[in-house]
Amino acid sequence: MKLGGTSVADADAIARVIAIVRAEAESRAADKPPVVAVSALAGVTDRLIDAAHRAEDGDADGATASLNELLERHLAAASALTSGKRHVELVAAVREEFAGVVGMMRALAVLREVSPRSFDASVAAGELASSRIVAAALAERGVPAVWVDARTIVITDAEHTGAAPQMAETCARTSQSLGRLAAGGQVAVLGGFIGATVQGITTTLGRGGSDYSAAIIGACLGVDEIQIWTDVDGMLTADPRVIAQPRLVRQLSFAEASELAYFGAKVLHPSTILPAVAKNIPVRILNSRRPDSDGTLITAAARPADGQLTAIACKRDVTVIDITSTRMLMAHGFLRRLFEVFERFRTAVDVVTTSEVSVSVTVDDTRRLDAIVDNLRSFADVACEPQMAIICAVGENLRADPTLFVRAVTALERVPLRLVSQAASRRNVTFVLRDVDVPNAMTRLHDEFFRASVHHEGTRLTKSF
Ligand code: ADP
Ligand code: ASP
Ligand code: MG
C-alpha cells in the first residue's frame, strides 16, 4: 500500500489512511499483513527542495526558517495522532531528523553548493519523518505497525536524484527484514521515494518515486496486489488539471499504463509498472477519500475490445531538437552517432521522427542541452524549439481499429502539429505541438473520444451525436 502525499497531508488525512490500512490488515491472513510505503506530507518535498536552493544561494537563515516551519507542521500531526511515551519518542525522532537537515543545509550554505548527493540526503527527511508519524499513529490505534528505515531495504545505484534499484540486493533484504515482520503479523511502514547505495549513502528514486518504491517492494515480496492510494479515483481519461471532467478508466493494461505515466499521467511514476510486470502483479490506483470505490485496476491482460481509446496524457514544456544533415543522414552510422550524444549526456529522448534529411527529437530534461547541441553541431545543423508539448493518445484498440488514428488526427485538424508519431506497438499516437495549444488540443481530443457518452462503464463508451 503506497500512501501518497495528499493522503498523508495532515492529521485528518492520516487518520483516514489508518482506517484504510487497518481494514486491509484485518481482511488478510495474520501472516500476510500489508506493507505500507509512505510519501512525504503533501508539499513537503517541494519545500525541502526550495530550502536546498536557498542553501545554494548562501541563505542559511532562510533555509533554516523554512525547515522550522516544516518541523512544526510535522510536530502538529504527531501531537494530534499519538500520546504518552509513543508521542515523546516520535517527537524526538522527528526533531532529530530535522536537526540533521538544518545542520546539513547550514553547511551547504557556507559552501554554496548542493551536490546531488547532498540534495538526496536533505529531501529524504520528508519521507523519513512522514513514515515515522504514520507508523506511530497506526500503533497508537492498535495496528501492529513497525517503522522500517527504507534505506536499509531499497538498495540502489549511485545515480543521485534518480537512482535505480538493485533488485537482487533489495529483494534479499526485503524478504529477510520485511518477511520476518510479516511472519510475526506486523505491518511494516517505510518511507517511499528513498533508498541507499550498498555503502549506505542516501539516494532518491526521482520525483513521484514513492509509487516506484511500493512496486519494488511489492515485487520482491511477491504480493497479490500493489495499491497506490492517492487523491483521485484512479487513472482518468485525461489530466484533471487540463480537462475539467475526465472519466475514470476502470481497467487498463500494463503497457497502456506505462505509456500514460511516461507521457505525463502524474498519478503513476513512470517506472512503477516495471517491477509489477516482471512479477505479473496487478496494480490498483485508489482514492483515499473514497476508499470504497473500485479505482483503476492495471493488469497484464489487454482490455476487451470496445472500440475506444483508453486515455490521453500530456507532457508539457518539452524542447524539440531538429538535427539536419543533407550529407550524412542516409549514411550508415549517422543515427548511432546522433544518439550517442544523448547517451553521453545522459538525456532521455521521448519522441523521435525522421525524414530524409532530418531527425527531430524531444527532450524534457534540458540541463545538458547546450552541451548536446554543441556536440551535435560538429556533424549536423541543429535548431531547438522550447515551450513545446507532447500529447499522447493511448489505447490497445489503436492497433485493431485504424479509424481511431484518423479520428484523433481529424480532431486536431485546426491545431498546428509539429510532429506526429505512431510506434510499432501501435498502442499510442503521439503529437508534438506548441505548449500554448495544449488546452485546446486536449479538449478537442477528449471531446472526440470521451465526451457525450450516454453510458459510461469504465472504458465502455457509447457516443451520441
Ligand atoms: P500522490 O501525492 O498521491 O502521489 P500525485 O499528485 O503524484 O499524487 O498524483 C495524483 C495527481 O495526478 C492527481 O491529483 C491529478 O492531478 C494528476 N493526474 C495527471 N494526469 C492524471 C490522469 N490521467 N489520471 C489521474 N490523475 C492524473
Ligand atoms: N515525496 C516525493 C515527491 O514529492 C515522492 C512522492 O511523493 O512520490 O516527489
Ligand atoms: Mg505521486
| Residue nearest to ligand 2 atom 8, measured at CA | 208
pLDDT higher than 80, residue 195:
yes
Residue 327: what pLDDT? Answer: 73
Tell how far the Cα of 463 is from the centroid of ligand 3, in angstroms: 32
Nearest ligand 2 atom to alpha carbon 210: 8
Q: How far apart are CA 16 and CA 230, in angstroms?
A: 12
Chain segment 266-300, per-residue pLDDT in tens: 999 999 999 999 999 999 999 999 999 999 999 99
Which cell numbers hold the place of 193? 521515494
The residue type at 385:
E
Nearest ligand 1 atom to alpha carbon 211: 4
Domain spans in the chain, listed from the N-terminal domain onward? 2-230, 311-464
Tell how far the Cα of 337 is from the centroid of ligand 3, in angstroms: 36
Residue 162: what pLDDT? Answer: 94
> 233: Cβ below 6 Å to ligand 1?
no
Position of cell 472504458?
Answer: 459
Residue 199 makes CB contacts below 8 A (sequence gap 6+) with none
> 265: Cβ below 6 Å to ligand 1?
yes
Coil/strand/helix, residue 111: helix
> 266: Cβ below 6 Å to ligand 1?
yes
pTM above 0.75, yes or no: yes
Chain segment 126-176, per-residue pLDDT in tens: 999 999 999 999 999 999 999 999 999 999 999 999 999 999 999 999 999
Across residues 8-17, what is the average pLDDT?
97
Residue 331: what pLDDT? Answer: 74
> How far are the Cα atoms of 238, 260, 431 from residue 310, in angstroms, in the given order?
10, 10, 16
Q: Tell me the best of 48, 120, 205, 207 to mutate to test the pocket of ligand 2, counting ligand atoms within 8 Å of each CB and taking the most.
A: 207
> 237: Cβ below 6 Å to ligand 2?
no
In this structure, are residues 260 and 390 in contact, taking their beta carbons and an 8 Å threshold? no
How far does CA 53 lie from the centroid of its chain? 22
Residues forming a β-bridge with 148? 190
Tell how far the Cα of 461 is from the centroid of ligand 2, in angstroms: 34
Tell how far the Cα of 8 is from the centroid of ligand 1, in angstroms: 15
**Is residue 302 very low, low, confident or very high in pLDDT (cuts 50, 70, 90)?**
low
Question: For residue 230, which of 294, 287, 292, 271 has the smallest C-alpha distance?
Answer: 287
Q: How far apart are CA 310 and CA 101, in angstroms?
A: 43
Chain segment 325-358, per-residue pLDDT in tens: 877 666 778 889 999 999 999 999 999 998 878 8
What whole-number percentage of the chain has pLDDT above 90?
88
Q: How far apart are CA 235 and CA 248, in angstroms?
A: 6
Mean pLDDT, the chain, integer:
93
Q: How far apart are CA 398 and CA 15, in angstroms?
A: 43
Residue 317: what pLDDT? Answer: 95
**Is residue 387 very low, low, confident or very high in pLDDT (cuts 50, 70, 90)?**
very high
Burial 168-197 (b: 16+ CB within 10 A, else e): eebbebbeebbeebbeeebbbbbbbbbbbb
Question: Using alpha carbons only, what angle is made at residue 253 by residues 251 and 259, rounded to the nearest 5 degrees?
Answer: 115
Residue 451: what pLDDT? Answer: 82
Across residues 37-64, what is the average pLDDT?
97
Q: Which of 62-66, 207-211, 413-417, 461-465 has the lowest mean pLDDT?
A: 461-465
Q: How far apart are CA 382 and CA 375, in angstroms?
A: 10
Residue 457: what pLDDT? Answer: 41
Architecture of domain 2-230: 3-Layer(aba) Sandwich (3.40)
Chain segment 90-139, per-residue pLDDT in tens: 999 999 999 999 999 999 999 999 999 999 999 999 999 999 999 999 99
Tell how far the Cα of 177 is from the centroid of ligand 2, in angstroms: 24
Residue 309: what pLDDT? Answer: 92
Chain segment 423-453, per-residue pLDDT in tens: 777 889 999 999 999 999 999 999 999 986 5
In this structure, are residues 296 and 284 in contact, taking their beta carbons and an 8 Å threshold? yes
Q: How far apart are CA 168 and CA 153, in angstroms?
A: 11
DSSP symbols for 54-89 = HHHTT-HHHHHHHHHHHHHHHHHHHHHH--HHHHHH
Residues lining ligand 3 (ion), CB within 5 A?
208
Q: How far apart are CA 392 and CA 312, in angstroms?
A: 6
Residue 4: what pLDDT? Answer: 98
Q: How far apart are CA 432 and CA 427, in angstroms?
A: 17
Q: How far apart are CA 286 and CA 230, in angstroms?
A: 6
> 197: Cβ below 6 Å to ligand 1?
no
pLDDT higher than 70, residue 458:
no
In this structure, are residues 105 and 60 in contact, taking their beta carbons and an 8 Å threshold? yes
Architecture of domain 311-464: 2-Layer Sandwich (3.30)
> 191: Cβ below 6 Å to ligand 2?
no
Judged by its nearest atom, the ligand closest to the C-alpha of residue 43 is 2
Nearest ligand 2 atom to alpha carbon 126: 1
Q: Tell me the best of 205, 211, 230, 258 to mutate to test the pocket of ligand 1, counting ligand atoms within 8 Å of each CB and taking the most.
A: 230
Judged by its nearest atom, the ligand closest to the C-alpha of residue 193 is 2
pLDDT higher than 80, residue 459:
no
> 174: Cβ below 6 Å to ligand 1?
no
Chain segment 217-265, per-residue pLDDT in tens: 999 999 999 999 999 999 999 999 999 999 999 999 999 999 999 999 9
